[in-house]
Structure 1
């Protein structure tokens, strides 16, 4: 592995390789679609375009929707969760183990492949050092096109609630989602995978801040306490990694900025989707609506830059990359379906525990496969982070049990 001093020139061979330039170019591509769309929506709203015609159903669905909202937000987010009974305990245990195995297999494979694609070369021989794949946006497009296909087939084959949300409202979550995914892929060029996993675990802090800003939510003292513990643990890990100047542990300024971008965009995505669930819809409908716009934005930007053909040529040159990119997309799409099914069957608390364990396993697997080193202080920081996450799950489950025992007319403080 190269040293930290050797990586800097390679990362910035030209302006085209600098992440900020690529981010600006991508954003310009999205703007070329968003701005005309925004102007059209404003035009139809000013005209109150609700008259019959060949384009009427499309315009009504995209701009106006049915505007029917559910009485309670939870009504549209998930169908009622089936409670396990004593007669079906064995089946419930089997379902739980299957969900846990599916989530772990999907996202651990996804994490390993993500690091492989973004940090290693393809086509290397004794005479040729090979080449790295640089376009993170193409990987986002690959993930979204498969997720769109899977969600579309699922909606077509199963009964779904009557859709009422204006389609354009999905574009906000879609735009922030593809930007957060792009930052996530791009950050691996500058920081180690364990650092990224811990940063993702700490996103509860900006999610709380965004929740107060977007949804006006209130929080309990234990939520602030666990958020502070997560911050302390992440800080311990990052500071302990600073003296080791290898590619596997160095945390550059660019990496920090990209991680901050990922957390901010992802926090907005979750809060905006939470607000959209006030319309009566299923999670798979949400997945379909968001990925429709994600495919539109990414393919439009790739075509405008000429990067789509270049990425396809890279796939043609390196069959190993093709297999990795396809498997990456399959794991992402299957993982989303496992998420919906697990929450529906066992609730958010069980799902959070499974995914928290997955983050710990991901760090361990990355260290074993790619040789990342973790100091004693860094290991303690990781332990503090996961202790805080489990404490958060425990406190939330206790609060939910207590809220069920409250007399009618009393309600606890709203949580996220």
Structure 2
């Protein structure tokens, strides 16, 4: 089941990334679509529709969690996305990579704050190893040469710290709701997207950009098809996100998404015959070593508990 979650997350977000790049870069009747916030709104709206349909079709039990509690996860998710995009303007590529690759550790710290959860020592050790390995692989000289921003400003550092804080809170808060209210992953998806759809819609309306986006979509059938495909892919990705968190918790989800970054680039290297440097090879070796040690330590701890 864990392999199913990992593969589902990997495939859905790989396709989502390809589709998003296509929508934002190709011309539609000689014009480019540049409003990424509208795409976020469509993704959230589609996820809301999909989760509502699944709940109605499966006749799931009534949700007992107060609706306002979903707003915390929704707000933190939107804020983490905004901070991440804004930080890209002020943060160097190495800083971005190290920050994203090290998210496992803040998630553990936030788990302690939100749920008062304790982790065994091997979790901390393997998380540090994992962060080092992913950072080493992604900080390949090839990638450094192609990034325009070479310096990190104070504003960028603050934005990245806020991004990590909100991002770590989101998955931990969702895990806390799962434990407290015993809800399904689809119910969580519906509750969060009610607020996410509303917040992004309000933002589009206040900026006055919604009519132009709808007009662009109505006048370009190929664009409309691409947006629907993108939103569907995002919805499938969300189903895997909420299911993974409900089954395995925030930490395992973050580990999967962290490793996904390295695997995506490794897959690209294999498909397009890019060379992997010695540094990249060492980085991937550390990643797999960290994952192996984590599995080994967990099994050994479980065996020791059984004996005692």
TM-score band by shorter chain is 0.7 to 0.9
SS at match of 2:183: coil
Question: Relative to 1, partners in 2 of residues 1:296 and 1:343: Cα closer, same or farther, differing over 3 Å?
Answer: closer
Structure 1: gaps spanning 5 or more residues = 1-94, 408-416
| Distance (Å, rounded) in 1 between the aligned partners of 2:253 and 2:171 | 16
Unaligned residue ranges in structure 2 (runs of 5+): none
Could you tell me how far apart the structure 2 residues matched to 1:368 and 1:256 are?
33
Task: Pick the structure with more helix per residue.
Answer: 2
Comparing 308-317 with 265-274, which one deviates more in the overlay? 308-317
Residue deviations 1:276-303, cap 9 Å, x none? Answer: 2212321211111111111111101110
In 1, the alpha carbon distance for the partners of 2:93 and 2:21 equals 7
CA–CA distance in 1 between the matches of 2:215 and 2:300? Answer: 54
State the 1:217 CA deviation: 1.9
Higher relative contact order (CA 8 A, sep 6+): 2
1:272 aligns with 2:173: yes
Deviation at 1:155, TM superposition (A): 1.1
TM-score (norm: length of structure 1)? 0.59
- Aligned match of 2:19 in 95, 113, 131? 113
2:187 corresponding residue in structure 1 = 285
Question: Pick from 250, 253, 278: which aligns with 2:152?
Answer: 253
Could you list the per-position Cα deviations for residues 117-171 of structure 1 after superposition, in whole angstroms to 9, with x for gaps in the alignment? 45x353597xxxx6462x3322221111111111111111214344222111110
Q: Distance in 2 between matches of 1:367 and 1:251?
A: 24
Report 1:275-354 matches (<5 A).
275-277=176-178, 278-316=180-218, 319-338=221-240
**Alpha-carbon spacing, 1:124–1:221, altered in 2? closer, same or farther (3 Å):** farther
Farther-moved stretch of structure 1 (279-288 vs 349-358): 349-358
Residue 391 (1) aligns with residue 290 (2): no
Query: Structure 1 pair 302/227, CA: closer, same or farther in 2 (3 Å)?
Result: same
Contact 2:115 2:176 in 1 (8 A): yes
Name the CA shift for 1:140/1:398 in 2 (closer, same or farther; >3 Å).
farther
Stretch of structure 1 that moved more, 331-340 or 291-300: 331-340
Q: 2:38 aligns with which of 138, 146, 158?
A: 138
Tell me by how many angstroms 1:308 deviates. 1.8
- State how far apart, in whole Å, the 2-side matches of 1:243 and 1:341 are: 33
Superposed counterparts of 1:91-130, under 5 Å = 102-117=8-23, 120-123=25-28
The answer (yes or no) to whether the contact 2:134–2:259 under 8 Å persists in 1 is no
**Matched-pair contact (CA < 8 Å) for 2:28–2:223:** no
Distance 2:298 2:205 in 1: 46
Aligned residue number for residue 172 of structure 1? 72
> Deviations 1:207-235 (Å, cap 9, x if unpaired)?
01212222222222112212222343355
Structural mapping, 1:9-408, within 5 Å: 102-117=8-23, 120-123=25-28, 131=32, 133=34, 135-184=35-84, 199-237=99-137, 240-241=140-141, 244-247=144-147, 253=152, 259-277=160-178, 278-316=180-218, 319-338=221-240, 358-366=260-268, 375-400=277-302, 402-403=304-305, 405=306
Q: CA deviation at 1:387?
A: 3.6
SS of residue paired to 1:253: coil
1:392 offset after TM fit, Å? 3.1
Quote the Cα distance in structure 2 between the aligned partners of 1:393 and 1:251.
37
Measured on the aligned residues, the alpha-carbon RMSD in Å equals 4.2
Counterpart secondary structure, 2:107: helix
Number of residue equivalences: 304
Q: Distance in 1 between matches of 2:272 and 2:158?
A: 24
Cα distance in 2 between the residues matched to 1:356 and 1:370:
22
